[in-house]
A and B are shown apart, each in its own frame.
Chain A
Amino acid sequence: MSELHISISAQPIFVWGNYQVTNTMLVTVLVTLFLSLLAINAQRFLSRKHPPRWVLFLQTLVESFYEYVQSITPRHAARFFPLVATLFLFILFGNWAGLLPGAESIGLKTSHGFVPFLRGATADINTTLALAIFAVFSVQFYGYKFRGLRYFTKFFDLSNPINFFVGFLELISEFSKIMSFTFRLFGNIFAGEVLLAVIAFLVPLFASLPFLGLEIFVGLIQALVFSTLTLVFINIATAEHH
C-alpha cells in the first residue's frame, strides 16, 4: 500500500502573503461562484412569460424543497426556508465537488508529497466546523428572536437545583450539537473519498463506478440531514413551552 496516500487534512496549494490557501478553500469559492451565477442567471428569466426549461426545472426543485420545509415547520416555512436551503445547496455541491473527474487526482508533486488542486469542500474539518457553528448559532439567534430572554431560561434556571442541573446539561448539549454536526458531515464525506481512493487503488477500472453512485447518494442524504437537523433544532428552539 506504499503508493496509496490519503491526507486527512486539506493541503495548501499556494501561499498568499502569510496565508496558506488550501485546496478545499478553492473549492468552497468555486462552489459559491457556481451557485451564485446559477441563481443570478435563473433569476433573469423568471419574470419572462415563457422561461426556458432549465429554469423551470430549477423552480420545480426549489418548490419541492420548500414543500419539504413546510412539512416540518408549517407556520414559519417562509422565514426559515432561505437559511435552510442555503445550507442544503452549499453542502450538497460541496459534497459532490469531490466526486468530479479530476478532483483528488490532478495536482502537483511537492516536497510534502502529492497535492491535488481540488478536494471536496466538506472533506475538510474546518469547513464542516464553520458550518456547524453557524447552524447552532442561528438556532440560538432564532430562539432569542422568537422567545426573547425567556429562551435563555432553558439554560439558566435558578428555580430549583434540579432545573439548574438540567439547564447545565442543556448548555452542554448545544456544544455537543456542534461536535456531532461537524463529525457527521466530515466523517461521511471523507470516508467516501477514502473508499473511492482505496477501490481505485485495488481495481483501477470500472470497480469504483457503483461506489461513485453510492457517494452521490450519501452526499445528498448528508446535505439533507444537516439542513433538516438545523431546521428541527430551530423549530424546537422557537416553540413556546407550556
Chain B
Amino acid sequence: MTTTKPSPTPSCHAGGDGPAAVLGAPVVALVGAPNAGKSTLFNGLTGGKRTVGNWPGTTVEVGSAAWAAGGTPVELLDLPGAYSLDSHSPDEELTRDLLYGVDRPVPDVTVVVVDAAQLARSLYLVAQLREHRQRVVLALTMNDVAARRGIEVDPAALARAVGAAVVAIDPRRRAGAQRLQAEVAAVLAGPVPEPRPQPGGLDHDDELAVADERFAWIEAAVSAGSRMPAGARTTVSDRIDRWATAPVIGPLLFLAVMWAVFELTTAVAAPIQDGLGNFFSGPLTRGINAVFEHLGLGGSWLVQFVDNGLIAGVGMLLTFVPLMIIMFALLALLEDSGYMARAAVVTDRLMRRIGLPGKAFLPLVVGFGCNVPAISATRILPGARQRVLTALLIPVTSCSARLTVYVLVAATFFPAHAGTVVFGMYVISILLVVLAGLALKQTLWRSMGQEPLVLDLPAYQRPTLRLTASVTWLRVKGFLRSAGGIIVATVTVVWLLQAIPVRGGASFGHVEPGDSLFAGLARLIAPIFAPLGFGDWHTASSLVVGFVAKETVITSWAQTYAAADPTAGQSPAQLQGHIHAAFAATGGGAVTAAVFAFLIFLLAYTPCVATVAAQYREIGLRWTAFGILMQLSVAWVLACLVFQLGRLLT
C-alpha cells in the first residue's frame, strides 16, 4: 500500500537539503521510545541528510528523507519519540495520528526501534502496533548495553513471539543497516500480516484490562525472546534488604543504627566540644577583653555584652558545631549508602501495622530534621482535617535543634550514657507520635483511606565523600545561619533584660544577675515549674526563651550563669556544674526524675516561633493558638507525671 501525505512544513530547524523522496514511494515510519537510538538510526540510514519540519497544524517536528530498502526507493519518516500510542503527550498524539489517523492510510512499514536492554519497556508500543493490520519490523538497538548487563536476546525467538521481523543493529557503528534494509524490502514485498490474536471478551473500554492484555503479551514475548542473568532476581541489595526491611529484624536494626549514630556522635564530639568551649571562655575572652582594655573600654557595658552575651551565649552554642557536623555527616553517610530509604520502608510498615496512614507519617519523618518544612509538608495530605491534625502532631517530633539541649543535659547528668539518653528521647518522641496517632485513629484520622506505599529502593552504594560533605555542609550552614540570626537577636534581648536593674540600685549593665529585670520576670514564672522539679529561675527562664528557638535554652542558661561569674568566662564544664546544682536544689532528692521531666517538657512544648509561623500559614490562627495551648498543657502534665512518679519511686 502506498501512502500520500502532506509534506512537512519547512521551519528554521530544517536540517539540510536532504534528497527528496520519489513521489508515491512507499513510506517507512521509524518509531520508538525517546532515547532508544531512533534518531541515530535515522541519521545512520540516511547519511544525516534529512528535512525537518513541523507537521502541519502542530509544533511537533517530523524528519523525512529518501532511503533505499533493498533497491526500492522509499520515504523514511522519523516520527516523534513515543513510549506508547496512548496520547500522553503531543508527540505521542501525533505519532498515533500518523500511524492510525482516520483520514490517513497507515505507513507501508513501521520500523520500531526497540531497546534490547529494556525489552519489556520497549515492547508496549509493539504490542499496540501489532493489534492492527500492519507491516512491522523491530530494529533491536543497545545490544552492547544488554550484553554488559548479562541479558541475552535471541532475535529469531523474539521474532516468532512478536510475529514480526527482528534485526539486531548498532546505529552508532552503522552495523546491521544492510540487514535492516533487506528485511524492510522483504516485508514490503510480502503480504500485510494479520493483527496478533487477542482474547475474546476483552472489554476495550476498560483501560486497565486492555493494558493488562498487552503486558501479558509482552511478558510472553520477553520470556520467549530473552534471558535475564541467573543472579538478576537476587542482587546483593536484595539479600541485604531481606534483613534490613524484614518485619521484626528491620525495626530492631533501625533502632540499633540510630543508637550507634547518637552514641558515636556524643562520644566523639565531647572532647572537641570541651576544647572549643575552653577556647571561647579562655583565650578568646581574654583576647577580646585585652582589646577592649587597650581601647579604654574595660569594664563598660559593651564588654559585659560581648562577654556575657555574645561569647557566653552564642559561643556556647557554637561549641555544638562539631557535634552537629558529626551527626549530620553520619546521617548523610546513611542516606548516601541507601540505608535511610530502607529505614523509611521499615517506619512506614510499622506505622501501618498499628493502623496509622503512611501518608500522614511522611511529614512527621521530615519533622525529625526540622519542624518547619514538615508543617509545610502537610500540604501533601488530601483533606483540611488531616492537614490540621498532622500539623498539630509535628511539634512532638524531636527536631535537631532540641538535640543540642538533650546533649548538654545528658552529658551533665549521665556522662557515661549520653548517647543512649539522647537516643531514648527520640524513641519517646516516636512513642508520643504513635500514641497521639492511635488516639486520632479512632476519631479524626479514621477517614484517611487505605493508600499503600511502595518504595523504589536504590541499590546500596559506597557513600561518596563529595555528596556526604555537601549534604553535611548544607545542614550545618542552616544551624550556623540560625545561630547568627535569631539567636544573636535573642541573646541581645536577654542581655538587655539582664542589664536593667529592678532592685539593688546598680547601674545599667552592672547588675547582679538576681537583681535584673530578667531575673524578676523569671521568678514570676518559676513557680509554674516547681511541681515539675525544675522551679529554679535560671531553668524556667531558659524554657521561656526557648520558645524562640530551642538552641536559645542553652544560650539563656549560659548567659544567666555567666553573668553570675563574670570574671571567669564560661566553659562547658562550669555551665554543667551550675545546671547540676540547680536541679539538685529544686529536685527534692529526685534529681534524675527532675532531669527527665525537664527533657520531656522540652520535647513536648512549642518548638520555636518559626514553627508557630508555619502553623499559622498552613492551618490558621485558631488552630495555631489551640496547638500552642495543647503543647504547653501536654508538656506540663507529662513532665509533672514523670517527676511526681519518679519522686515516689526514688
A binds B: no
